[in-house]
Chains A and B, each alone.
Chain A
Amino acid sequence: MATIHDVMPPFELFQPTTVEDTLALLDKYKHDAWVLAGGLDTFDWLKDRNKRPKVVVDLGMVPALKGIKPTADGGLEIGAATTLTEVAKNATVKEKFPMLMQAAELVASPQIRNQGTIGGNVSQDTRCWYYRSGWTCYRAGGNICYADTPSAINREHAIFDANRCVAVNPSDTAPALVALDAKMVIRSLRGGERVVDAENYFIGPAIDIMKMNVLQPGELLVAIRIPSTWAGSQFYFEKVRERQVWDFPMVNVAAAMKVSNGTIQSSRIVVNAVAAHPLRLTAVEAAVAGKPRSEETAKMAGDLAVQGAQPLNHNGYKIPIMKNLVKRAIRGEAQA
């Protein structure tokens, strides 16, 4: 097992004050640079010696990356370095997208939310303990997944879309953002700005086994735009975790639904912590469209949601949890 040391190995620290300077640094140092936002994921990696960047670029002094502002279309733009507490307490988020507020509020503990950023929460690395122990698994550039062996302990791991690596995405805000059809604004010095659908921001091991998102060296997630498309819809967010005080999700679900006279017109339903990326349930969305928001529809949706799940030795429990979360999302129980 890795040992957490009191002192981190040396690195060069940069604290730029503008996005432009940040991008210039990231462009200069590329693979050698590590982006530090809230630092909650970063310091574990650095103290464990499992990541050894030459350069750390601290975003904490860049005001342009913070804050929540309305967009022309009635949506919101959230700076990537905005803290989760700010997201959870923002009046507009609460009014238009209460699901995001709830998701942000369920991340970890108040202290962590005060420090952690929404950009960091969506871009954080997986929590697979084998990977984080510093062993050379697939995700670390090796040729084995220690979490998928006959004797592995894999309670937290994937039941969908595993491809050699069985790690999962642990974010709570990510499924909410995918359900809200958010757009991730990415900038780089040479490439300018590109906007990626939140659904496409996350990637699984089949595409790139060493990354969880599309960010390339030199690129920075600067903001998250939430269109007004789903503002005022019916939302549902629920997170199941082992310790109710604070923990990563065992499974969570985020759903945005447009309902008219008790009939589901359209929806976006996303589950996380079951795959290496937030899993949008498009088959369920199609199946419930035009159906009444009833117990029968909920049961059908729950059954459909878990079709194709492939549990490992110790995470079969995720299937009934996911099934029930989807059922509850359709029923709208404990509605956000």
Chain B
Amino acid sequence: MGFLVQWGKNPWGQDILTHAQWSLVYFALAFGVLFMLGHTLFVAFWPKPAGPTTAPVSEAAAARVPQRVKRHSLAARMFHWIMAASMLTLLVTSFVPILGLKFDWVQLHWMAGIVLTISIIYHIIHASFWLDFWSIWLNKEDVNEARTRLKRAMGQTVPAPRKAAKYPWDNKMYHTAIVLSAAAAVPTGLFMMKRIQTPFYVRNPYLFSDTTWGVMYVLHGLSGIGLVGLTIAHIYFAIRPEKLWITKGMVFGDITREDFLKHHDPQRWVVGKES
């Protein structure tokens, strides 16, 4: 456990958890860099499966796809970019001082945390009532698709998988990882604000026991460290040439018909006259 967490002593001489082991930040950074390198080499040199990479789509359904397809509403895009800005602020304010560049980070950190929290609440409400809530969650079909792609990458002869619905399986995987990290980081962060001076609370570090606080600090720290790796991977994919159409979609809101038909199955993501 020592490689994951840092221990300390409380006034009663008891061992208490204090926080995550900060040296793990270097591992997260190394993971991010190695992931980028590994994926780049995989794309460039790994043998491609023979035949088409995806199963053909219905001609009739494809005919209904308009010239431009709305992928993200303005509200969804605003959430994404506000969340991105607050997430980057949180990561910079938490880990850059640990890496050696000292500055007054605490206030910026909790303020960015508040922005992130509000944006997540907004996103949950927006996704629940205005979007197709389940479209971003992994389902059995995604698992089968992932399995098929893995088999094909390993050289096995299996039928090509179907093209994606609105969100490809790897996109859903990333969303799930982010949700889990945020589920650990956000509530613990809100409670941790009780330990510092803010306009919201009267400071009271004795709200919970040392053990409970220790677990909270460790969860907050470990999820933050995990988010370093996840964020590096996300930015990497956002700027890869073959993924730029997705990034543009998140900037401008829509994608071209060509990109739609290249990557999506119009029967799994119904757009156009029937949508």
Is this pair of chains taken from one and the same complex? yes
Contacts from A to B (Cβ < 8 Å): 130, 133-136, 140-146, 148-151, 162-164, 203, 206-208, 310
Contact of A142 with B8 in the complex, beta carbons under 8 Å: yes
Rounded to whole angstroms, the CA-CA distance of A151 and B204 in the bound complex is 10
Would you list 6 pairs from A and B whose C-beta atoms are within 8 A, ordered by A residue? A142-B16, A142-B18, A146-B11, A148-B203, A206-B106, A207-B104
Rounded to whole angstroms, the CA-CA distance of A140 and B6 in the bound complex is 12
Q: A144-B195, A162-B197 are in contact. Are A135 and B206 (CB under 8 A)?
A: no
Contact of A150 with B106 in the complex, beta carbons under 8 Å: no
The residue from B6, B10, B104, B205 contacting A141, defined by CB atoms under 8 A apart? B6
Q: How far is the CB of A284 from chain B (nearest CB, A)?
A: 23
Instruction: List residues of chain A with CB within 8 A of the CB of B104.
Output: 163, 206-207
Q: How far is the CB of A154 from chain B (nearest CB, A)?
A: 12
Instruction: List residues of chain A with CB within 8 A of the CB of B217.
Output: 143
Chain A binding site: helix, strand, loop or mixed by DSSP? loop
Contact of A144 with B9 in the complex, beta carbons under 8 Å: no
Instruction: List residues of chain B with CB within 8 A of the CB of A162.
Output: 197
Instruction: List residues of chain B with CB within 8 A of the CB of A207.
Output: 102-104
Instruction: List residues of chain A with CB within 8 A of the CB of B19.
Output: 142-143
Rounded to whole angstroms, the CA-CA distance of A203 and B204 in the bound complex is 25
Interface mask (B49-81 → A, CB under 8 Å = 1, otherwise 0): 000000000000000000000000000000000
Known: A141-B8, A151-B206. 15 other contacts (CB 8 A): A130-B11, A133-B11, A134-B9, A136-B10, A136-B16, A136-B18, A140-B8, A142-B19, A143-B18, A143-B213, A149-B205, A150-B204, A162-B197, A163-B197, A164-B196
Instruction: List residues of chain A with CB within 8 A of the CB of B9.
Output: 134-136
Q: In the complex, which residue of chain A has the Cβ closest to the Cβ of B220?
A: A143
Rounded to whole angstroms, the CA-CA distance of A207 and B19 in the bound complex is 19
Rounded to whole angstroms, the CA-CA distance of A164 and B205 in the bound complex is 10
Instruction: List residues of chain B with CB within 8 A of the CB of A134.
Output: 9
The residue from A143, A203, A310 contacting B195, defined by CB atoms under 8 A apart? A143
Contact of A145 with B18 in the complex, beta carbons under 8 Å: no
Q: How far is the CB of A213 from chain B (nearest CB, A)?
A: 12
Q: A135-B9, A135-B11, A206-B106 are in contact. Are A141 and B195 (CB under 8 A)?
A: no
Rounded to whole angstroms, the CA-CA distance of A136 and B217 in the bound complex is 14
Contacts from B to A (Cβ < 8 Å): 6, 8-11, 16, 18-19, 97, 102-104, 106, 195-197, 203-206, 213-214, 217
Q: How far is the CB of B148 from chain A (nearest CB, A)?
A: 47
Rounded to whole angstroms, the CA-CA distance of A318 and B205 in the bound complex is 24
Instruction: List residues of chain B with CB within 8 A of the CB of A136.
Output: 8-10, 16, 18
Q: How far is the CB of A49 from chain B (nearest CB, A)?
A: 11
Q: How far is the CB of B94 from chain A (nearest CB, A)?
A: 13
Q: In the complex, which residue of chain B has the Cβ closest to the Cβ of A134?
A: B9
Q: In the complex, which residue of chain B has the Cβ closest to the Cβ of A130?
A: B11
Q: In the complex, which residue of chain A has the Cβ closest to the Cβ of B213?
A: A143
Rounded to whole angstroms, the CA-CA distance of A205 and B54 in the bound complex is 57
Q: In the complex, which residue of chain A has the Cβ closest to the Cβ of B204?
A: A150
Q: How far is the CB of A300 from chain B (nearest CB, A)?
A: 28
Q: In the complex, which residue of chain A has the Cβ closest to the Cβ of B103?
A: A207
Q: In the complex, which residue of chain A has the Cβ closest to the Cβ of B12?
A: A135
Q: Please name the 3 residue pairs, one residue from A and one from B, whose CB atoms are nearest each other, closest first.
A: A136-B8, A206-B104, A142-B8
Instruction: List residues of chain B with CB within 8 A of the CB of A130.
Output: 11
Instruction: List residues of chain B with CB within 8 A of the CB of A142.
Output: 8, 16, 18-19
Q: In the complex, which residue of chain A has the Cβ closest to the Cβ of B104?
A: A206
Contact of B18 with A141 in the complex, beta carbons under 8 Å: yes
The residue from A133, A135, A140, A164 contacting B106, defined by CB atoms under 8 A apart? A164
Instruction: List residues of chain B with CB within 8 A of the CB of A164.
Output: 106, 195-197
Identify the interface centre among A135, A143, A144, A149: most chain B CB within 10 Å of its CB: A143
Instruction: List residues of chain A with CB within 8 A of the CB of B6.
Output: 141
Rounded to whole angstroms, the CA-CA distance of A141 and B203 in the bound complex is 20
Rounded to whole angstroms, the CA-CA distance of A310 and B197 in the bound complex is 11
Instruction: List residues of chain A with CB within 8 A of the CB of B97.
Output: 208
Instruction: List residues of chain A with CB within 8 A of the CB of B11.
Output: 130, 133, 135, 146
Q: How far is the CB of A196 from chain B (nearest CB, A)?
A: 14
Instruction: List residues of chain B with CB within 8 A of the CB of A203.
Output: 102
The residue from A133, A141, A163, A208 contacting B102, defined by CB atoms under 8 A apart? A208
Q: How far is the CB of B101 from chain A (nearest CB, A)?
A: 10
Rounded to whole angstroms, the CA-CA distance of A113 and B204 in the bound complex is 40
Rounded to whole angstroms, the CA-CA distance of A310 and B198 in the bound complex is 13
The residue from B18, B103, B206 contacting A149, defined by CB atoms under 8 A apart? B206
Q: A135-B9, A208-B102 are in contact. Are A144 and B205 (CB under 8 A)?
A: yes
Rounded to whole angstroms, the CA-CA distance of A140 and B106 in the bound complex is 17
Q: How far is the CB of A123 from chain B (nearest CB, A)?
A: 17
Q: How far is the CB of A323 from chain B (nearest CB, A)?
A: 23
Q: How far is the CB of B110 from chain A (nearest CB, A)?
A: 11
Rounded to whole angstroms, the CA-CA distance of A145 and B19 in the bound complex is 15
Instruction: List residues of chain A with CB within 8 A of the CB of B103.
Output: 207
Q: How far is the CB of A137 from chain B (nearest CB, A)?
A: 9
Rounded to whole angstroms, the CA-CA distance of A162 and B102 in the bound complex is 17
Rounded to whole angstroms, the CA-CA distance of A206 and B108 in the bound complex is 11
Q: In the complex, which residue of chain A has the Cβ closest to the Cβ of B19?
A: A143
Rounded to whole angstroms, the CA-CA distance of A222 and B8 in the bound complex is 34
Q: How far is the CB of B19 from chain A (nearest CB, A)?
A: 6
Instruction: List residues of chain A with CB within 8 A of the CB of B206.
Output: 149-151
Q: How far is the CB of A334 from chain B (nearest CB, A)?
A: 36
Instruction: List residues of chain A with CB within 8 A of the CB of B204.
Output: 149-150
Q: A163-B197, A164-B106, A208-B102 are in contact. Are A145 and B205 (CB under 8 A)?
A: yes
